[in-house]
């Protein structure tokens, strides 16, 4: 989904598939977005700078929204679509923003910076080839980490930039050398 903010600062146009909605107040926009989009990633395309209170409210409601200037909208939206992983209707995630994924009883938790998105989905059904293209590697039966957000490696665990320790199971520990090479090019640890 993307939102196009027209040159009139108080008029918003929302386009989602075949739907186009015009709103005059940010509150109406947010209410409509929540009902249509949930908390899925979205892009806000604007011609003129958005008022600061609108940007703050948008980022509070949609922490993973992309603010895109109109001049670069075509290429930015194309890149955003390539980064999205749609697991089922109504649930998609931006793979570049995922720090790690945890599985708990057929429920996946996607950890981002400051928030978590949850869906009922089996970890074994994820497209692992696609995830590897974004630096996401499986290190445990219940965990997938994004190597871009790994701070350091310890025996049997990844230490994330925010201090979270993600375990590496024995069955995946033989791949540690490959992960280290991908992470830092260092195989001495």
Tens-place pLDDT, residues 144-183:
999 888 888 888 888 888 889 999 888 887 776 666 665 5
Residue 84 has pLDDT above 80, yes or no: yes
Confidence of residue 186 (pLDDT cuts 50, 70, 90): very low
Domain boundary assignment for the chain: 2-83, 98-183
Convert 75-98 to b/e letters by CB count within 10 Å (16 or more is b). Answer: ebeeebeebebebeeebbbbbbbb
Predicted pLDDT at 51: 76
Q: How many CB atoms lie within 10 A of CB 17?
A: 7
Topology (CATH) of 98-183: OB fold (Dihydrolipoamide Acetyltransferase, E2P) (2.40.50)
Confidence of residue 189 (pLDDT cuts 50, 70, 90): very low
Predicted pLDDT at 127: 92
Q: Which of 71-85, 123-137, 148-162 has the highest mean pLDDT?
A: 123-137
pTM: 0.69
Strand partners, 46: 5, 69
Task: For 4-61, write each residue's pLDDT tens digit.
Answer: 555 454 555 555 554 555 555 566 666 666 666 665 666 777 777 777 877 777 777 7
Residue 188 has pLDDT above 50, yes or no: no
- Name the one residue in this structure whose structure tokens are 């005059």: 24
Residue 136 CB-density burial (10 A; 0-12 exposed, 13-18 middle, 19+ buried): buried
Q: What is the dihedral of CA 121, 122, 127, 133, to 10 degrees?
A: 90
Strand partners, 120: 107
Task: Determine the Cα–Cα distance for residues 139 and 150; give it in Å rounded to an integer.
Answer: 12
């Amino acid at each position: 989904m993307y939102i196009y903010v027209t040159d009139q600062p108080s008029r918003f146009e929302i386009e989602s598939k075949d739907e186009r909605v015009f709103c005059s107040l940010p509150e109406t926009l947010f209410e409509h977005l929540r009902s249509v989009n949930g908390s899925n990633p979205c892009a806000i395309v604007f011609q003129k700078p958005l008022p600061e209170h609108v940007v703050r409210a948008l980022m509070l409601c949609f922490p993973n929204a992309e603010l895109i200037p109109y001049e670069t909208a075509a290429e930015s939206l194309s890149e955003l679509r390539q980064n999205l992983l749609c697991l089922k209707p109504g649930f998609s995630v931006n793979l570049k923003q995922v720090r790690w994924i945890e599985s708990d009883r057929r429920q996946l938790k996607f950890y981002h910076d400051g928030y978590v998105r949850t869906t009922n989905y089996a970890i074994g059904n994820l497209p692992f080839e696609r995830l590897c293209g974004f630096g996401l590697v499986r290190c445990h039966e219940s965990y997938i980490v994004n190597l871009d957000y790994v701070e350091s490696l310890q025996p049997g665990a990844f230490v994330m930039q925010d201090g979270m320790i993600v375990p590496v199971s024995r069955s995946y520990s033989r791949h540690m050398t490959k992960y280290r090479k991908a992470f830092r090019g260092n195989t001495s640890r």
